[in-house]
Structure 1
């Protein structure tokens, strides 16, 4: 009997995924902001809720005690809300996009943060965007495939599309399959690329970068993002270890 119980317990352990070991995870919001929640500015957080069988991101405002998103207009909820969390809050950054002029950062889609499928029949995901609208910051769902806009709401309850906004990205995401996971390896690859010029750097940094392939330009950007992330993390640790 005990052998059967032990076996069942073991199977449950190996089948259950530890969500908190993921890079990004969603925790049930219990009216208290968890320590690993990712802030997005102005006291707001990214929330998520199941609406008609579809997960939709939106604005979680702890002071107001509610979750607001766009779903056929303005939709508010209090219960059954999740909050976006991560052990590395400094890995995220907001990048400006302009769908009016198709002004998008290079390889943007490779580092976007997904927030659930748009519906039950396609694999197209919602992404997370933010914009100031009607004198407040609003976080909403982004469709970059069809309507190519941020979907938020108006004060009168109707929906609003914004084509110029910021979209949430993960700077730790590998933007090219050939990019190595270790920063030192990234830098070595860049050095090897530039060393084709007989190991001499005769131009400015900007000019040297212009000579790189698009693949290696992405590699440089990823390395810089990782270094910035490490600096921010170090500063954060120093501040917490030396409280005023």
Structure 2
């Protein structure tokens, strides 16, 4: 199958206000609080699941990455819990799946999970989230206790999607067709297990042709997990995704080991 080339990262401000993120009218009331800490860099061996304690509320917040962890021009966002991307709203066209109709349900689950920021499922313990912006791009980072079995099932499911959902069509609420492509992505070998995808959605937004691309990465350490989504209408910065995974795994590992991350630099407060 010939794939279209990935979008070039350029400003798309004319589309951002009306398409990239819905307003608080679409808000899920379960958004987590903001965190105010940063972790030193460094490499350590993964923590054994049997030896990993549960995250506390404060620990889940301390495990969240900061702008210093992902570099570039990322800025903290105060409204991350309200973010919803209207291009991810659509009903998967089952007719596309000629020999594996059940795969359509997996592709629908992917779109719904990306829209609602619920790919990790419901946390069994403490959790938190934090958002960042850079030009028209948005990054959302979540961390919490989800249970090792549930996380492993989620990771196994994500790893099947490049085959099950290689390319499919979804129909938006306005009847417009959107072409969705799902490919595997590479991230640093951090944590006990991980999975990563790049998802591209092509369609119309505000009467104009638009392409939304996002990285999706999930990692597990013991019974705790973290997820990052990063992208926008002008493409995706894969290096920022990689940094979020690497530094996020280190922060989570440090917290689970009983270490206290250093305070976030004052310029990011």
Larger RCO (alpha carbons 8 Å, 6+ apart): 2
Structure 1 or 2: more strand by fraction: 1
User: TM-score, length-normalised on structure 2?
Assistant: 0.24
User: TM-score, length-normalised on structure 1?
Assistant: 0.25
